[in-house]
Amino acid sequence: MKEIKAALWMEILKVRRTKIFPISVYFFIFIGIMMGFLMFVARHPEIANRSATISTKTSFLPGSDWNAFFDLMIQLVLTLGVIGSGIITSWNFGREFSDRTVKDLLSLPVPRSTIVLSKLIILFVWNILLSICFVVTAIISGLLLQVPGWSGTALTPFLVTFMMCVIFNSLLITPVALIASAGRGYMLPISFIILILIFTQLLFVGLPDLTFWFPWALPALFSGVAGEALPSPGYISYLIFILTILAGLFGTIAWWRYTDHR
Amino acid sequence: MIGDVIRTENLTKHYGEIHAVETVNLQIKQGEIYGFLGLNGAGKTTTIRMLLGMIRPTRGEAFLYGEKVDPGNTDLWNRVGHLVEIPYSYPELTVLENLEIFRRLRLLKDRDVVTEVMDRLHLGRYRNMKARNLSHGNAQRLGIARALIHHPGLLILDEPANGLDPAGIVQVRELLTDLARSHGVTIFISSHILGEISRFATRIGIIHEGKLIRESEVGQLKRSMHRTLHVHTLNNQKAREILTHQGYTSSPLPDGSLELPDEPAISHPEKVSALLASKGLPPVKIALDEEDLEHFFFRIIKNHHEQS
């Protein structure tokens, strides 16, 4: 217990002192505000008509009420969550190698597995925090801009679905941590995230039947934003998802424990 | 064999075709300052990383305090402080925060150890300075401070004098000597400068191309360095004839003076002087020249090459 407390203290201090932490928070808040603004424009198409870009952006919105807004927030967190969690994970693990600080974390009374675990816990919490910043800002901006059709009863199921998607995305950081460790830096995991995003989009568009087998598609399948054409994920999807997380977790621990740190 | 603080048995590391470390056997006792000497790429850092469990040996084993080095044996590191190559700290954290991290990771309850080690390494005035703004020398001091924070019984240091100015080098040397002599700390220190390491090490091991090619006490090492007697007279040719007649071996140097490599001349230069004076050729200069430590180091390496 002492070991994990010490390791968590270290990780919290490093996150607090880094610029990427406030930048990530401001970025998610900004996106939340922009969501509200987008809904506002959807309600007032005369504003959008003056700008071709904004007009294009609002044209894909299913509507301009709170139900459409909730759907939009879930769609956005599915993509933004993968990017956000991927980048902060790449940074947290990759920086130990690019700053060459990892060698000082290896021969200590605190086991290497504890260091890895504390990093993943902090990243999980960080990712949840970013999503909360996003959703709270988006809801406040929606209320301020008077998006019509507010319903307190619709809020709870939305928040449950939203947070479940966030949790799924936040758990999927373990394979990114493994790739950042094995790649000893930022480039490989960030490339991996881009590849995952492209692959997920291709699957949904081109090969929807295979989405059940792809762990990064689970949050979208769970949320139902993919439409009624795709049913909810089955046991196999959850099993593959859990195995992917565990493979990432134990793979990262094993990598820190057994590889040669030259 | 708990008597040895460090013991390696046929410690070997291969990277494919490259034999980074080959069958290195070390036995280092408590309180020793063991200088591990080698050129760049000789295998010093690889050996140190194997001692610290950062690299798995291809063959052989390493033991610290009689316990086998293994990443899972975390209790072992309570007794070991280390510095591997250039120390890198978290750049966005201050000196104090960087040390506080390691106080906690070493599970030390006493908060004063941070201030104590900062004072010891003269880092107190930089306590609130971010590590990224430290000079190279102070960054090195911070690395050494991290290694010392928990008062370890064994220090494994990889070229700790790197980046330090002459005053810093003397300071670190005095600190390490004091730790070994007054507190019985065992020190394993690598370097590529024999002159520096021989000033305070008790024993030297020379590693070359992954192999431990020589190991001896510093005193013994100094005794095996080449020494010659240099004599200069007003007539060196005649002086050489006199010396040869008396059984001394001598050879002329480019400046005309004579070099006497034999032990009788080296041990008793006064006899050589008296002999030449009695023959009417008193030396205008007579001096005992000792081989430079760095030359000695290179000669050992060269001899090893020739033998192999």
Write out pLDDT tens, residues B220-241.
877 777 788 999 999 999 999 9
pLDDT value, residue B1: 45
Is residue B190 in some structural domain?
A: yes
Closest CA to A157 of A165, A149, A146: A165
Domain ranges of chain A: 2-258
Closest CA to A119 of A163, A184, A173: A173
For residues B91 and A95, the answer to whether their CB atoms sit within 8 Å is: no
Q: Clarify whether residues B193 and B260 are in a common domain.
A: no
Top mean pLDDT of A56-65, A67-76, A163-172, B254-263 is at A163-172
Does the distance separating the beta carbons of A99 and B90 come in below 8 Å?
A: yes
What's the CATH code of the domain at B126? 3.40.50.300
Neighbour-count burial for A101-137, b at 16+ CB within 10 Å, e otherwise = bbbbbbbbbbbbbbbbbbbbebbbebbbebbebbbeb
Query: What whole-number distance in Å separates Cα of residue B135 and Cα of residue A37?
Result: 49
Q: Over 70: is that where the pLDDT of A229 sits? A: no
Q: Clarify whether residues B210 and B240 are in a common domain.
A: no
For residues A154 and A160, the answer to whether their CB atoms sit within 8 Å is: no
**B88–A contact, CB cutoff 8 A:** yes
Q: ipTM score here? A: 0.85
Is residue B303 in some structural domain?
A: no
Task: Dump pLDDT digits (tens) for A182-209.
Answer: 999 999 999 999 999 998 888 877 777 7
Helix, strand, coil shares, percent, chain A, to 5: 80, 0, 20
Q: Clarify whether residues B259 and B147 are in a common domain.
A: no
Q: Clarify whether residues B50 and B127 are in a common domain.
A: yes
Q: Name beta bridge partners: B155.
A: B81, B187
Is residue B297 in some structural domain?
A: no
pLDDT value, residue B8: 96
Task: Dump pLDDT digits (tens) for A82-126.
Answer: 999 999 999 999 999 998 999 899 989 999 999 999 999 999 999
Average per-residue pLDDT for chain A:
88
**Distances from the Cα of B215 to the Cα of A54, B160, B236, B261, angstroms:** 76, 21, 40, 25
Chain B residues with CB-CB distance to A261 below 8 A: 49, 54-55
Chain B residues with CB-CB distance to A14 below 8 A: 90, 92-93
Does the distance separating the beta carbons of A261 and B49 come in below 8 Å?
A: yes
Q: Which residue of B has its CA nearest to A96?
A: B90
Is residue B105 in some structural domain?
A: yes
Q: Clarify whether residues B94 and B129 are in a common domain.
A: yes
Does the distance separating the beta carbons of B105 and A108 come in below 8 Å?
A: yes
Q: Clarify whether residues B237 and B208 are in a common domain.
A: no
What's the CATH code of the domain at B269? 3.30.70.270
Is residue B125 in some structural domain?
A: yes
Q: Clarify whether residues B117 and B183 are in a common domain.
A: yes
For residues A220 and A200, the answer to whether their CB atoms sit within 8 Å is: yes
Kind plus residue range of the DSSP H or E element containing A206: helix A187-206
Q: Clarify whether residues B144 and B267 are in a common domain.
A: no
Query: What whole-number distance in Å separates Cα of residue A28 and Cα of residue A132?
Result: 9
Chain A residues with CB-CB distance to B54 below 8 A: 103, 106-107, 260-262
**B106–A contact, CB cutoff 8 A:** yes
Q: Over 70: is that where the pLDDT of A53 sits? A: no
Is residue B253 in some structural domain?
A: yes
Which tokens hold the place of B234? 């007003």
> Which one-letter DSSP state was computed for residue B282?
-
For residues B269 and B229, the answer to whether their CB atoms sit within 8 Å is: yes
Task: Tell me which of B171, B200, B223 is where a domain ends.
Answer: B223
**B55–A contact, CB cutoff 8 A:** yes
**A60–B contact, CB cutoff 8 A:** no
- pLDDT tens digits for chain B (308 residues)? 457 999 999 999 999 999 999 999 999 999 999 999 988 889 999 999 999 999 999 999 999 999 999 988 899 999 999 998 888 899 999 999 999 999 999 999 999 999 999 998 889 999 999 999 998 888 989 999 999 999 999 999 998 887 788 888 888 888 889 888 888 899 999 988 777 788 889 999 999 999 999 898 988 877 777 788 999 999 999 999 999 999 999 989 888 899 998 888 988 999 999 999 999 999 999 998 877 667 777 778 878 777 77
Chain A residues with CB-CB distance to B75 below 8 A: 109
Go through chain B and tell me how many residues it has.
308
Task: Tell me which of B172, B204, B223 is where a domain ends.
Answer: B223
**A105–B contact, CB cutoff 8 A:** yes
- Given the DSSP bridges, would you call strands B80-83 and B227-232 parallel, antiparallel or unpaired? unpaired
pLDDT value, residue A147: 83
Q: Clarify whether residues B217 and B247 are in a common domain.
A: no
Query: Domain containing B137: what range?
Result: 4-223
Q: Clarify whether residues B117 and B234 are in a common domain.
A: no
Task: Dump pLDDT digits (tens) for B104-154.
Answer: 999 999 999 999 999 988 899 999 999 999 988 889 899 999 999 999 999
Distance from CA of B82 to the nearest CA of A (A): 8
Is residue B211 in some structural domain?
A: yes
Number of domains in chain B: 2
Chain A residues with CB-CB distance to B87 below 8 A: 104
Is residue B308 in some structural domain?
A: no
Which tokens hold the place of B146? 């991290």
Query: What whole-number distance in Å separates Cα of residue A102 and Cα of residue B90?
Result: 10
Mean pLDDT, rounded, for A220-244: 83
Q: Clarify whether residues B66 and B183 are in a common domain.
A: yes
Distance from CA of A255 to the nearest CA of B (A): 12
Distance from CA of A127 to the nearest CA of B (A): 21
Q: Clarify whether residues B70 and B204 are in a common domain.
A: yes
